Amino acid sequence: MKNLFKDSELKYLNKHEPVSHDVLIELHGSEGRHGWPEVEVYHNKKIVYKGLVEHKHTLKIAVSKNHTRNIFKVCFTNKKPNDTVVDKQGNITHDKFVKVHSITIDNSYIDDVGKLCRVYIDEPSDYAGSSRGGNAMFFPGHLKLYYTNPPLDYIHQVYMQQGLFDTAEYKADIDLNFNRAVEILFNHSREDH
Partner 1 sequence: MISNYMIDITIATLPVLEFYLPPAAPALLKGHLEKHGFTCTALDLNLQSKQVLSKERFNEFFEFTTTDKEIDQSIKTEVYTSWEKLLLADNPIWVGFSIFSGESHNTARDFLPWFKKRNPKQKVLIGGNGTSKPEFIQEVLSSVDHIIYNEGEEALVELLKGNKKYPGIDTPGKQIDDLDSIGHSNYNDYNLGEYDRFYAENVVQITGSRGCIRRCTFCNIGHLWPTFRWRTGKHIFDEIKKIHQEKNVQHFYFTDSLINGNQKTYLEMCELLADYNSTLDKKITWGGQYIVRRKKGLPEHYFEVTAKSGAYNLALGVETGSDSVRHHMQKKFDNDDFDFFMEGFSKHKITCSYLMMVGYPTETQQDFEDTLYLFKRHQRYVANGTITGCSLGTTMSILDDAPIGENHSDLYTFPTTPGLPTSTRGLQVSRHWESAVVPGLDYKERMRRRLVAQRVCESYGWSTISADRELRQLQAQSQQFQDFSTQTPQLFP
Residues that bind partner 1 (CB under 8 A): 1, 4-6, 8-9, 12-14, 16, 106-111, 151-153, 155-156, 159, 161, 163-166, 170, 173-174, 177-178, 180-182, 184-185, 188, 192
Q: Of 84 and 104, which has the nearer Cβ to partner 1?
A: 104
Minimum distance from residue 101 beta carbon to partner 1 (Å):
12
92 vs 172, beta carbon nearer partner 1: 172
Distances (CA, A) of 78 to 50, 52, 53, 126, 181: 12, 10, 11, 21, 63
Distance in Å, CB of 168 to partner 1, minimum: 12
Q: What are the Cα distances from residue 165, in Å, to 156, 162, 174?
A: 15, 8, 10
Of the candidates 119, 191, 103, 190, the one whose C-alpha atom is nearest the C-alpha of residue 155 is: 103
For residue 161, the minimal CB distance to partner 1 (Å) is: 6
Give the Å distances, CA to CA, from 32 to 51, 55, 119, 191.
16, 12, 21, 78
CB 95 within 8 A of CB 138: yes
For residues 23 and 75, which CB has a smaller minimum distance to partner 1 in the complex? 23
Q: In angstroms, give the least distance from the CB of 1 to partner 1.
A: 7
CB closer to partner 1 out of 48 and 152: 152
Q: For the chain, what is the largest distance between any 2 Cα atoms, rounded to a whole number of angstroms? A: 90
For the bound state, the minimum distance from the C-beta of residue 163 to partner 1, rounded and expressed in Å, comes to 7
User: Which three-class secondary structure state does DSSP give residue 74?
Assistant: strand
